[in-house]
Amino acid sequence: MNVRLAEKSPRTLDSSVSDWGSRRRRLRISIVSDAIRGRNGVGTYYADLIEHLRPAVEQIQLICPSAECDRDTERWSVPMPGDRTQRMVWPRYRKFVAQLDRQSPQLIVLPSLGVYTLMGMRYAIERSLPVLVVNHTNFDRLLPLYWPGVISKPLGWCLNWLNRWLIRRATMVAALNPDSFLAAKQLGADAVRIMGTPVSADFLNDRLVPPSADVRRFLFVGRLAIEKGVAEILDAAKTHTQYEFAIAGDGPGRCEVEAFASRHRNVSYLGWLSRDEVRREMDRSDALLLPSSIEAFGTVALEALARRRFVLLRRSCGIAKWPSFANGLFYLDDEKSVAEGIASFCKMSGQDRLATGRIGWEAVEDFNRHTIRVWLRFLTDAASNSCNRIVETIDG
């Protein structure tokens, strides 16, 4: 299924490019997120987006919980259900408001669901500020992986109700793939657009280590969680003892990964890595494994392509739905194990692997530039309430 978007019937859209540029340069944006910066996909996404947008706007800031508990700004925090490596934080409202007041935003961006998000929406409503909501998470698919239906269904209903309330209050809504686009429309979104994902400039600009046609080392980077398919990677490592498997990240599956790595010489557990360390590990590896059952986009896959590494993933991964990359990725079929997918990948000739890989590698920079341009226009229009009616056509 492909979703194509076209804009029409703008309410107040200026046709003057110079006027749009002037509005963009004066733009002040506050992104309010419940995700810790750099600790998961959402936290990484907005750190990278800010890096690219900051030179083009007057101000853009991220308000989010810190990695460590901060009693000065937090009232309390509890471990995230199902993942004690992440925290749900209740900020001190007066400190929260003071921080936003100092930023004096023209637009509030809400990419998560939690107390920070609700306080951000309250702030925007009280000051009549436009709001952009980003629809990242599919709760209907995620929650059943952690809890039985008696818990996951009512919890999912509550989260979807809250998400619907946010989306219907929003000036505009962004989605990261066609599935989340359709989910946002079903929840009542009016003005919605599919947005690309940026990649950190360091992954693009740092000196490249040339790719090899041969494959010796596979890398996984991400949360050690059920939906990421980490257990399947461990099973594949037992089958393919001739290859090295490196696993980086943290999460509820950490103890299992550590124990497995201690028993198998071809598996190394790297722990949680900084972005610079991730980049170095990619350069040491030949291919990235991303067998996630739920992946809105897959920033780490884009980073691996930027470093000219092969990427093996499920077709449900968001990046696979973008035409720029669809033919430059290697797919792990849903009906087959990761071990079988690796076997098929390694049976390919080195030249065939390189030919496929180059399609994705060569698309990254153009995709990144296009993503930044579209984000700038979308944010500028949202801030000025130039809320275009977004028209979608669905093929297939």
pLDDT, tens digit, 9 for 90 and up, residues 353-365 = 999 999 999 999 9
The reported pLDDT for the residue numbered 11 is: 39
The reported pLDDT for the residue numbered 394 is: 29
User: What whole-number percentage of the chain has pLDDT above 90?
Assistant: 56
CA distance 136 to 52: 20
Q: Which of 3-12, 30-39, 192-201, 334-343 has the lowest mean pLDDT?
A: 3-12
What residue spans in the chain does CATH classification 3.40.50.2000 cover?
Answer: 2-196+367-395, 201-321+329-362
Q: Is 271 left (phi over 0), alpha (psi -120 to 50) or beta?
A: left
The reported pLDDT for the residue numbered 79 is: 63
pLDDT at 368 exceeding the cut of 90? yes
pLDDT at 89 exceeding the cut of 90? no
CA distance 316 to 294: 7
- What is the CATH number assigned to the segment(s) 201-321+329-362? 3.40.50.2000
Mean local confidence (pLDDT), 287-311: 94
As beta bridge partners, residue 132 has 109, 172
Contact between 160 and 9 (Cβ < 8 Å): no
Q: How confident is the model at residue 221 (pLDDT cuts 50, 70, 90)?
A: very high
Sheet arrangement for strand 192-194: 59-63, 28-32, 107-110, 131-135, 172-175, 192-194
User: Please, what is the average pLDDT of the chain?
Assistant: 85
CA angle 277, 282, 286 (to 5 degrees): 155
| 83-91/107-110 β-pairing | unpaired
CA distance 233 to 342: 10
Q: Which of 57-71, 190-204, 274-288, 369-383 has the lowest mean pLDDT?
A: 57-71
User: What whole-number percentage of the chain has pLDDT above 70?
Assistant: 83
- CA dihedral defined by 364, 365, 371, 372, rounded to 10 degrees? 150
Q: Architecture of domain 2-196+367-395 in CATH? A: 3-Layer(aba) Sandwich (3.40)
Nearest to 114 by CA among 85, 84, 80: 80
Read off the pLDDT of residues 235-293 as tens digits, 9 standing for 90 and up. Answer: 999 999 999 999 999 888 999 999 999 999 999 999 999 999 999 999 999 999 999 98
The reported pLDDT for the residue numbered 153 is: 74
pLDDT at 134 exceeding the cut of 60? yes
Q: How confident is the model at residue 74 (pLDDT cuts 50, 70, 90)?
A: confident
CA distance 332 to 232: 11
The reported pLDDT for the residue numbered 141 is: 62
| 28-32/59-63 β-pairing | parallel
Mean local confidence (pLDDT), 368-390: 81
The reported pLDDT for the residue numbered 165 is: 87
pLDDT at 143 exceeding the cut of 70? no
The reported pLDDT for the residue numbered 4 is: 45
CA distance 13 to 290: 40
pLDDT at 32 exceeding the cut of 50? yes
CA distance 283 to 208: 8
pLDDT at 183 exceeding the cut of 60? yes
The H or E element spanning position 52 is helix 41-53
Nearest to 115 by CA among 137, 93, 85, 100: 93
Q: How confident is the model at residue 140 (pLDDT cuts 50, 70, 90)?
A: low
pLDDT at 145 exceeding the cut of 80? no
The reported pLDDT for the residue numbered 71 is: 74
Q: How confident is the model at residue 28 (pLDDT cuts 50, 70, 90)?
A: very high
pLDDT at 150 exceeding the cut of 90? no
The reported pLDDT for the residue numbered 30 is: 96
In this prediction the pTM is 0.84
Nearest to 48 by CA among 373, 374, 372: 372
